Amino acid sequence: MARSPRRGVEALIGRIEATESLDPPGYAIGNALARPAQIAGRPAQRLGNALHGTRYGHPVHPMVVTLPIGAWTLAFGLDLLAMLGLAREKRAAPVAETALRAGALGAVAAAATGLADWQYTDGRDRRLGLVHALANGTALGLNLLSLALRGRGRLGEGRAASAAAWGAMFAGGYLGGHLVYRRRVGTDHADRSPEPREWQPVVPLAELREDRPRRVEVRDANIRQEIGIALVLHRGRVHAMGARCSHAGGPLDQGWVLEGRLVCPWHGSRYCLESGQPIDGPSTIPQPRYAVRIRDGMVELRREQEPGDEVVTRERVAQAAVPQGGALGRRADEVLVEHHMMLRRMFERIEAMPREDPERRDLMRALAEELEIHEHIEDKLFYPAVRPISEDVAIAHAEHRQLADLLAMTLKLNTATPEFEEHLRALHAAVDHHAGSEERSMFREAERLGERRLREIGHALEALLEEMRASRARQAFRALKVRLLEGA
């Protein structure tokens, strides 16, 4: 049986990751980089921080690699256009050469930042990183060769070298993507649970020792996990930050305090006790922070939520539950459950109809329109109202997208075919899942809004439902959309 390209590439990457013979050269290079830095001391640490991106909150390497990729791709494209006669030789060749030079400069910067990050990897990541660097180094070498050949008037050979370099760069980029997206090198490894949202006692103050990090745990019921927090008593004050290092997950509670910083025992990142910011790399990402107070001799913690986190807190619930003076109707959850039931009945009717029944298509269109209405009223009114009191809204939005995709696929099919049956069942299951999870979780959480606010939202939902069904313009728009999805 033919092997898929993906499996071939995965097998190749797996072989590289398992090649232990790459370790001796890998560690030799790592040591060769570390020695001068150790001799140089603080200036080398500052340079290292700049190369990692410690002060920018983000690794520098992914930003810098765009320079050689962009410049060398431009050169490759110009060469190609000139060879195809689509660009004038006289104009394309000098621009391509300039792009090759600019790309080479960018590649040196990319190599410096990449090496700085790579030396703090281990095992399979270190091996793959080494081959990633070799591929990109090959690309740089070939492009320098290309420039030399072009300088001697051997344009054809120069272009061949650039084309080969572009291929090597592409392979290097693939491995780099694997390192980040599959192996999570350079991504955030800290636990960013929102717990504890309210003050929680964790340990008697008397049990803490000056500058001796201590691990405590709080429960995150949503993910059913204990979250580790590193406590440090320093100069009479208790500081707290996530115990899992954002760089690669090292245990900060097993680290030590040096010059008022908490040092990670794995790669030596130093974190400010006050802010959780990395002061020295390789880490670039701040640690999760916790507010600390002492009550009755106990250390109490509360998570300092991060900007953009949509975490339900007592304050947000209180704000969301304030009635807004709107008209009252049925409760929002009652209105939506009723609509869920209607959708379920429509599915049952379509499923029970004979396949050849021409009304099946009409009912399918009616179902599509009701699904559209349902999505609209939830997106416009219900989700914004419950967002402060429910963390399910992001998932609900994702499920709407999933339903819309499935609906679009189903509408394109002939209603008399087995494929339609299969897709209809899948769509029915997706709607059931979405409605069921709202009914089991989100609607229960919506109770926190209080009876009056729920009735205000319910009234607005019913008014919008009525408007959407009655409006000729909206009817026409929905019908057109369904026809377009059908491919008619």
From the CB of 98, what's the least distance to ligand FES, in Å? 39
Residue number with CB closer to ligand FES (68 or 278): 278
Residue number with CB closer to ligand FES (45 or 269): 269
Question: How far apart (Å, rounded) are the C-alpha atoms in residues 163 and 155?
Answer: 12
From the CB of 94, what's the least distance to ligand FES, in Å? 46
Does position 247 bind ligand FES by CB under 6 A?
A: yes
Q: State which of positions 258-287 bind ligand FES (CB under 6 A).
A: 264, 266-267, 269, 282-283
Q: Which of 250, 286, 288, 329 binds ligand FES (CB under 6 A)?
A: 250
Q: What is the DSSP letter of 289?
A: B
Question: How far apart (Å, rounded) are the C-alpha atoms in residues 54 and 40?
Answer: 19
Number of residues that bind ligand FES (CB under 6 A): 12
Which of 402, 380, 368, 401 has the alpha carbon at shortest distance from 478?
A: 368
From the CB of 265, what's the least distance to ligand FES, in Å? 8
Question: How far apart (Å, rounded) are the C-alpha atoms in residues 145 and 163?
Answer: 12
Contact letters (x/-) for ligand FES, 447-466, by CB under 6 A? --------------------
Of 37-45, 167-175, 223-231, 248-256: span binding ligand FES (CB under 6 A): 248-256
Contact letters (x/-) for ligand FES, 186-225, by CB under 6 A? ----------------------------------------
CA 51 to chain centre: 23
CA 263 to chain centre: 27
Of 111-119, 244-252, 298-306, 347-355: span binding ligand FES (CB under 6 A): 244-252
What b/e sequence results for 222-252 when a residue is b if at least 16 CB atoms lie within 10 Å of its CB, and e otherwise?
eeeeebbbbbbbbeeebbbbbbbbbbbbbbb
Which of 196, 175, 63, 162 has the alpha carbon at shortest distance from 127?
A: 175
| CB-based contact 295:234 (threshold 8 Å) | no
Question: How far apart (Å, rounded) are the C-alpha atoms in residues 150 and 110?
Answer: 24
Residue number with CB closer to ligand FES (129 or 458): 129
Does position 248 bind ligand FES by CB under 6 A?
A: yes
Residue number with CB closer to ligand FES (46 or 154): 46
Across 289-421, the runs of DSSP E, i.e. the strands, are 290-295, 298-303
- Contacting residues toward ligand FES, per CB under 6 A: 120, 245, 247-250, 264, 266-267, 269, 282-283
